[in-house]
Amino acid sequence: MTQAKLIDGNAFSAGLRDEITARVHEIRDGHRITPGLAVVLVGEDPASQVYVRNKNKRAAECGMTSFEHILPADTPERHLLTLIEGLNDDPMVHGILVQLPLPRHIDSQKVIEAIRPDKDVDGFHPWNVGKLAAGGVGLIPCTPLGSMMMLRDHLGSLAGMKAIVVGRSNIVGKPMAHLLIRENCTVTVAHSQTRDLPGEVRAADIVIAAVGKPEMIKGDWIKPGATVIDVGINRVAAEGGKTRLVGDVDFAGAVQVAGAITPVPGGVGPMTIACLLRNTLTAAARLHRLDIPE
Ligand code: NDP
């Protein structure tokens, strides 16, 4: 049997970052505005530190200004909220991202709601959630946005297709489902209480896996020719005491059946950061009422 086409997130995101860089230079030269991204990290979680460093590095590579705020793990909630108020008012800052998860003593929802919706480049503020659900113009969460860009690039129109989103988190599953509805798909949202998950997946032309369970979705669940977007990032034990990253889909099985599939790593992951930069550029353009293509 022929193998599925690989949807290359590294190549796609590199192209997207080139486009963003060109636009950043345009508005810097034409309007003397440099898009600015502020990233806030509370605590010393090593994985979060790597994410934050990468986000700032990529922002700088695109010609944006990046502001890094690293706070100790015991930072009082009030201090974090005061920092966010300052960033909300700072004209150099167009995008604000608070790295999640936050330490337990901080109410994440309160922090998300403190961010100005028009600077909320993660798209998690209830205002942006509402805009996505109701069909308005807001900022769209980065991972679903990147997944949708790859789907549209590969499939063109998605109208009338059956899509399943496995996972219903606020950061991936639910916004992904709303984006697919916008694209006129018929959407099933599956979760831990879903009966006959294999049967539900088998009916889908598009499978979005966002579960957080290594290789849970098997190759023989996939409809032949379906497009599979694997959002999962799971670190598992490998030979020689090492570890490796795998997705939520059993790639070796699914690649034999699917029409196209994203690898892990090198699929959705790089698109997430590229879309964060895209959202920062979009936020800067809207805040300054610049007429640039989105
Ligand atoms: P969450 O843990 O918040 O959500 C997981 C979802 O999967 C829940 O809705 C849960 O259902 C559902 N689920 C759990 N077990 C099953 C099961 N056996 N059958 C069906 N559904 C199940 O995870 P996230 O959405 O935050 O992340 C999902 C994955 O995506 C993770 O691997 C994460 O690392 C990755 N990720 C990758 C990103 C990227 O840039 N590529 C960005 C963000 C996340 P229920 O609601 O019923 O509990």
Q: Is 169 annotated as a binding residue?
A: yes
Expressed in angstroms and rounded, the spacing between residue 92 Cα and the centre of ligand 1 is 35
The pLDDT tens digits for 228-240 are: 999 999 999 999 9
- Expressed in angstroms and rounded, the spacing between residue 208 Cα and the centre of ligand 1 is 11
SS3 254: helix
Q: Which atom of ligand 1 is nearest to the CA of 193?
A: 47
List the chain pLDDT tens, one digit each, 294 residues. Answer: 679 999 999 999 999 999 999 999 999 999 999 999 999 999 999 889 999 999 999 999 999 999 999 999 999 999 999 999 999 999 999 999 999 999 999 999 999 999 999 999 999 999 999 999 998 899 999 999 999 999 999 999 999 999 999 999 999 999 999 999 999 999 999 999 999 999 999 999 999 999 999 999 999 999 999 999 999 999 999 999 999 999 999 999 999 999 999 999 999 999 999 999 999 999 999 999 998 767
Return the bridge partners of 272, or none: none
Question: How many Å lie between the centroid of ligand 1 and the Cα of residue 197?
Answer: 15
Q: Are 207 and 201 a contacting pair, CB within 8 Å?
A: yes
Same domain, 157 and 261: yes
C-beta of residue 289 within 8 angstroms of C-beta of residue 150: no
| Ligand 1, atom 16, residue with closest C-alpha | 192
If one counts the domains in the chain, the total is: 2
pLDDT value of position 214: 98
198 found inside a domain: yes
Q: Could you report the per-residue pLDDT of 156-176, keeping only the tens digit for each? A: 999 999 999 999 999 999 999
Give the span between the Cα atoms of 209 and 287, in whole angstroms: 34
- 168 and 83 in a single domain? The answer is no
Q: Is 233 labeled as ligand-binding? A: yes
Selection from 45, 43, 70, 44 nearest residue 56 by Cα = 70
91 and 146 assigned to the same domain? no
Whether residues 257 and 199 share a domain: the answer is: yes
Which residue range(s) make up the domain with 265? Answer: 142-269
Backbone angles phi, psi at 165, to 5 degrees: -110, 115
Contact 124, 102 (CB under 8 A): no
200's CB contacts (< 8 A; 6+ apart) are 164, 188, 190, 194
* Ligand 1 contacts CB of residue 268 (under 6 A): yes
Q: What is the dihedral of CA 21, 24, 28, 33, to 10 degrees?
A: -150
> CATH code at 158?
3.40.50.720
Ligand 1 atom index nearest CA of 268:
41
**Ligand 1 within 6 A of CB of 193:** yes
Question: Is 287 part of any domain?
Answer: no
- CATH code of the domain in which 101 resides: 3.40.50.10860
- CB-ligand 1 contact for 150 (6 Å cutoff): no
In a domain? residue 154: yes
213 lines ligand 1 (CB under 6 A): yes
The ipTM value here is 0.99
Residue 107 domain-assigned (yes or no): yes
Asked whether residue 90 is domain-assigned, the answer is yes
Is 107 in the same domain as 224?
no
Do 151 and 54 fall within a single domain? Answer: no
> 66 lies in a domain?
yes
Give me the helix-helix angle, 142-155 and 173-182, nearest 10°.
40
Q: Which amino acid is at 56?
A: N
Is pTM beyond 0.90? Reply is yes
Specify whether 159 is located in the same domain as 262: yes
Q: 187 in helix, strand or coil?
A: strand
The finding on whether 54 has its CB within 6 A of some atom of ligand 1 is no
Q: Residue 166: its pLDDT value, please?
A: 99
Do both 106 and 150 map to the same domain? no
From CA 173, how far away is CA 211, in angstroms rounded?
A: 9
What is the Cα–Cα distance from 54 to 273, expressed in whole angstroms? 8
Are 174 and 242 within one domain?
yes
Ligand 1 within 6 A of 231 CB?
Answer: yes
Q: CB atoms < 10 A from the CB of 133, how many?
A: 15
Most ligand 1 atoms within 8 A of CB, residue of 176, 188, 189, 231 to mutate: 231
User: How close is the Cα of 169 to the center of ligand 1, in Å?
Assistant: 6
Please tell me the distance between residue 211's alpha carbon and the centre of ligand 1 in angstroms.
Answer: 3
- Report yes or no on 289 lying in a domain: no
CA distance 222 to 219: 6
Question: Does 158 lie in the same domain as 99?
Answer: no
Q: Which amino acid is at 165?
A: V
Residues 158 and 263 in one domain: yes
What is the rounded distance in angstroms from the CA atom of residue 159 to the CA atom of residue 182? 9
CA–CA dist 110, 248 (Å, integer) = 30
Q: What integer pLDDT is reported at residue 1 of this predicted model? A: 62
Indicate whether 113 and 147 sit together in one domain. no
> What single letter denotes the amino acid at residue 232?
G
| Residue 123, in any domain of the structure | no
The residue from 117, 134, 162 where one domain ends is: 117
